[in-house]
Amino acid sequence: MAGNTRATRNYARSIFDAASNANQLKDIHQRFVTINRLYKSIPEFRLLVQSRRIDIATKMAILTPVLKDIATSTEVDFFRILLENKEIRLFSQIMVQFFLLVEKESDTVKVLISTADKISDQSLSDIIAAVQSTSGKHVEHDTYIDPALLGGLTLRIGNTIVDGSVYKRLEKLKTSLMRA
């Protein structure tokens, strides 16, 4: 497993460095986001690239036209390298590591704000200002109404979740009462 972790980080770092050196980090990142969604959401795509019964040349002959509108030779070559090295199963993990590297380098942080009801503009501004001052980065945000929260809010900042929901507080109270 440690070998996989090292390989995953090495691949992610290689993509990151190549994209940065070519001054195409933002474009390559966006294309990999699209390809990663495709990989995760279309089982046939994933099965094609992971199949051991289909040779690499056939896979590439199928993948190249499929990816032609969403990928450049950089992304297609990356798939070829993973296939040749028999490490295509690491693709999702590599993308996670690559996206983390891009996020660390970025001057923007993405925040998902989930609330039980619509949040006021003033509260939204206060939350964004607090995240900006804490992170020192510009904030891109999306809001989501989740009635299951009952009240309060949750923030997803990158890969970190801050849970200030009433639901979570009630769960903690329930757990402490059961221990007593």
pLDDT tens digits, one per residue of 57-113:
999 999 999 898 999 988 999 989 999 999 999 999 999 999 988 888 777 778 888
Domains of the chain, by residue range, sit at 2-104, 108-179
Same fold, 2-104 and 108-179: no
Distance CA 37, CA 43 (A): 11
The architecture CATH gives domain 108-179: 3-Layer(aba) Sandwich (3.40)
3-class DSSP state of 162:
strand
Whole-Å CA distances, 4 to 40, 103, 164: 20, 22, 35
Strand partners, 144: 114
> pLDDT per residue over 106-133, tens digit each?
777 788 888 888 888 998 899 889 888 8
The architecture CATH gives domain 2-104: Orthogonal Bundle (1.10)
Distance CA 32, CA 176 (A): 44
Whole-Å CA distances, 178 to 100, 164, 173, 175: 38, 21, 9, 5
Local confidence band at 14 (pLDDT 50, 70, 90 cut-offs): very high
pLDDT of residue 136: 83
Local confidence band at 157 (pLDDT 50, 70, 90 cut-offs): confident
3-class DSSP state of 153:
strand
**pTM reported for the whole predicted model:** 0.65
Q: Are strands 138-145 and 108-115 parallel, antiparallel or unpaired?
A: parallel
